[in-house]
Amino acid sequence: MMHQHINPSHAERLKVFHSARAIFCAPSNPSTTAGMYHETIRATPFWNRGEITGPRYDCIFVSNGEGSESNMSGLLVARVLRFFSFVINGDLHQCALIHWFSIFGDQPDPDNGMWVVTPDYFGNAPSLSVIHIDSIFRAAHLLPIFDENPLPRTLNYTSTLDSFRGFYVNNYIDYHAYETVA
């Protein structure tokens, strides 16, 4: 990835968004006849659906530009914390602030066929980056890896990604994920 320093004083407009739509070709999924499929990826501090309210910061697959010979078909995993755009010198830049996850091991877990990822930190601070939204491939579904300790009764889905140290990348969530995340 190429990093470019941008002076905030040159930004003409900055806008924050709470969601983005990923559109990709999934000919094996029941979608349109052209095989196009779409999903909404959310990054909102307040999600009001159902009985429990709280933040919702979805996970994504990020294309790293490598071929399918690398881990997970050249995809990386991250959690979106913010979508934003800005204009500099008349050019629109659409970006996402993300928290990276590391792939654990060189192959999926032999018991379930799913890759294992862990959130990245520098000391106690999350490993963050700003990426262009064109590098987002699609949403990722992570399942927590449970240990022998009982879960607190206060744990709910809004804090799951902050409460566990490791996750399975659910490639069984739909057929496109199963085909893609090798």
Q: Are 33 and 54 in contact (CB under 8 A)?
A: no
* pLDDT of residue 141 exceeding 70: yes
Residue among 83, 101, 85, 14 at smallest CA distance from 45? 83
* Residue 28 confidence class, pLDDT cut points 50, 70, 90: low
- Please work out, in degrees rounded to the nearest 5, the angle formed at the alpha carbon of residue 166 by the alpha carbons of 169 and 163: 115
Q: Could you list the residue range(s) of the whole structural domain that residue 37 is in?
A: 9-180
* pLDDT of residue 166 exceeding 90: yes
**CA 167/CA 174 separation, integer angstroms:** 18
Residue 33 lies in a domain: yes
* pLDDT (0 to 100) of residue 83: 94
Give the residue-averaged pLDDT of 132-154: 91
Give the residue, 84 or 25, on which the prediction is more confident: 84
* pLDDT (0 to 100) of residue 3: 46
Residue 55 lies in a domain: yes
Q: Are 54 and 158 in contact (CB under 8 A)?
A: yes
How many structural domains compose the chain? Answer: 1
**CA 82/CA 32 separation, integer angstroms:** 30
Residue 79 lies in a domain: yes
* pLDDT of residue 68 exceeding 70: no
Residue 77 lies in a domain: yes
Amino acid of residue 27: P
Residue 72 lies in a domain: yes
Residue 3 lies in a domain: no
* pLDDT of residue 39 exceeding 70: yes
Give the residue, 87 or 9, on which the prediction is more confident: 87
Q: Are 97 and 77 in contact (CB under 8 A)?
A: no
Listed in sequence order, the residues at least 6 apart from 19 whose beta carbon sits closer than 8 Å to its beta carbon are 40, 41, 42, 43, 44, 83
Residue 74 lies in a domain: yes
Residue 151 lies in a domain: yes
